[in-house]
């Protein structure tokens, strides 16, 4: 049974991540929002500290690299009924705190990219050891394949001990800065989603060509790249998971990534929601607006009532994110719960950020506060790693026990 308190062993991690948000991220947040594509050099020291904490075992995975799934946990759970608070939960808790400081800077932390989470989720032990300490981006989206990952057109053709990749990838977070790119490609287009696999490609690979960097609405501290893969040769050993096509299954190993990364994106949204609520509450208090939790909501001002309603939505998103991560730590299937968490947190984040700007009026809209920036940052959290609509479709399929062909 999940305990709703933060596990005692994670309290130091949460405090350290909170300090990073307040003392490092917030002071430079506006700087790198305005200086789009400029690398935040201040993050090198932060990344080194995170690596040190993770290596010492003090954090059980302080960032995306902690999003893993241990088969041994499932066996232990079955044998003695014990529960585990592990790396997935600690990663979610730490990311909530750092994104309370800045989402774009969190995404720019070296060696803590979504590609690292993909590797942690599905790589074998030899691959995890080989890629340890390296920064990985993740390339899924294509010009003709956004929310429907099964429509991926990038191909991977086996040629001896290598695969040859050809195609295009867009919206690759940290694509320019990362050392590795986890590329999703199909082994056989005729088989649809069943033939989708993920490959680790060296950023220096001559077949992986940077086309452009995107100019974006939000998370401007994080670079977003577009790539072209032209006869890109990748060693067969760099295919993540099982190389065999399981026609009776779904996406296979590649899709396991989402079960671990969607709670992380939910955590990002929860962190930004918390930041928006805290600042709006502070600014409104200065104007004499303070919600009374003991009084009926109908007797309070519109602003006070709105704050109370948004706090309730925040709590729901927070608890859903914790549940999805906790299930992953305990070897429980969590596809539905991961999508629930991502859907609720993403929508809540957008709604709360915009409402806080509205409630704070000219102050919320101006660059004198970070509320307007957070409103811009929020939208991506409802889009990447699967849009709001895709998450709700996944949840509906799980609840109704229907396949993707039965419910589209």
69 band by pLDDT with thresholds 50, 70 and 90: low
Are 113 and 227 found together in one domain? no
Q: The domain spanning residue 152 has which CATH number?
A: 2.40.110.10
Q: Determine, yes or no, domain membership for 122.
A: yes
Phi first, then psi: what are they for 197, rounded to 5°?
-135, 165
The DSSP call for residue 22 is I
49 band by pLDDT with thresholds 50, 70 and 90: confident
Task: Choose one of 240, 265, 292: the last residue of a domain.
Answer: 240
Residue-wise pLDDT for 74-125, tens only, equals 444 545 567 788 999 999 999 999 999 999 999 999 988 889 988 988 899 9
pLDDT score for 405: 84
Q: Determine, yes or no, domain membership for 3.
A: no
Task: Choose one of 131, 148, 168: the last residue of a domain.
Answer: 131
Task: Choose one of 174, 208, 240: the last residue of a domain.
Answer: 240
Domain boundaries, position 305: 253-400
Q: Which of 333, 324, 331, 335 is nearest to 76 (CA)?
A: 331
Are 271 and 300 found together in one domain? yes
Residue-wise pLDDT for 187-218, tens only, equals 999 888 889 999 999 999 999 999 999 999 99
Q: Across residues 355-361, what is the average pLDDT?
A: 98
Q: Does the structure show a pLDDT above 70 at 299?
A: yes
Are 336 and 230 found together in one domain? no
What is the rounded distance in angstroms from the CA atom of residue 352 to the CA atom of residue 359? 10
Are 259 and 375 found together in one domain? yes
0.85 exceeded by the pTM?
Answer: yes
Q: Determine, yes or no, domain membership for 360.
A: yes
pLDDT score for 132: 92
DSSP string, 66-112: G----HHHHHHHHHH------HHHHHHHHHHHHHHH-HHHHHTSTT-
Into how many domains does the chain fold?
3
Q: The domain spanning residue 28 has which CATH number?
A: 1.10.540
In percent, the amount of the chain with pLDDT more than 90 equals: 75
Residues serving a catalytic function are 385
Alpha-carbon Rg for the chain, nearest whole angstrom, is 21
């Amino acid at each position: 049974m999940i305990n709703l308190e933060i596990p005692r062993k994670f309290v130091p991690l949460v405090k350290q991540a909170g300090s990073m948000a307040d003392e490092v991220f917030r002071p430079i947040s506006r700087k790198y929002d305005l200086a789009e594509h400029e690398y935040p050099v201040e993050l090198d020291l932060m990344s080194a500290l995170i690596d040190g904490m993770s290596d010492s075992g003090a954090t059980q995975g302080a960032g995306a690299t902690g999003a893993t799934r241990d088969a041994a946990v499932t066996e232990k759970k079955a044998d003695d009924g014990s529960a585990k608070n592990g790396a997935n939960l600690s990663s979610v808790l730490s990311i909530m705190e750092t994104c309370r400081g800045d989402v774009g800077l969190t995404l720019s932390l070296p060696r803590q990219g979504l590609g690292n989470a993909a590797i942690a989720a599905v790589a074998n032990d030899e691959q995890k050891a080989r890629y340890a300490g390296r920064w990985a981006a993740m390339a899924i989206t294509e010009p003709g394949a956004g929310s429907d990952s099964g429509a991926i057109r990038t191909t991977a053709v086996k040629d001896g001990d290598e695969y040859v990749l050809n195609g295009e990838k867009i919206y690759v977070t940290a694509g320019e800065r990362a050392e590795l790119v986890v590329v999703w490609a199909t082994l056989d287009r005729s088989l649809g989603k069943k033939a989708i696999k993920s490959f680790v490609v060296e950023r220096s690979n001559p077949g992986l060509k940077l086309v452009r960097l995107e100019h974006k609405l939000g998370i401007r501290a994080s670079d977003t790249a577009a790539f072209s893969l032209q006869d890109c040769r990748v060693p067969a050993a760099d295919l993540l998971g099982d190389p065999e096509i399981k026609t009776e299954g779904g996406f296979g190993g590649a899709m396991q990534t989402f079960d671990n990364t969607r709670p992380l994106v939910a955590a990002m949204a929860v962190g930004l929601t918390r930041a928006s609520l805290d600042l709006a509450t502070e600014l409104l208090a200065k104007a004499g607006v303070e919600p009374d939790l003991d009084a009926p909501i109908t007797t309070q001002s519109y602003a006070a009532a709105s704050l109370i309603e948004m706090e309730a939505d925040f709590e729901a998103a927070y608890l859903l994110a914790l549940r999805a991560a906790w299930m992953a730590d305990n070897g429980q299937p969590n596809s539905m719960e991961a999508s629930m968490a991502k859907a609720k947190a993403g929508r809540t984040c957008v709604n709360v950020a915009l409402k806080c700007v509205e409630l704070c009026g000219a102050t919320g809209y101006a660059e004198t506060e970070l509320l307007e920036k957070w409103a811009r940052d929020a939208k991506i959290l409802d889009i990447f790693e699967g849009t709001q609509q895709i998450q709700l479709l996944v949840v509906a399929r799980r609840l109704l026990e229907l396949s993707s062909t039965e419910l589209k």
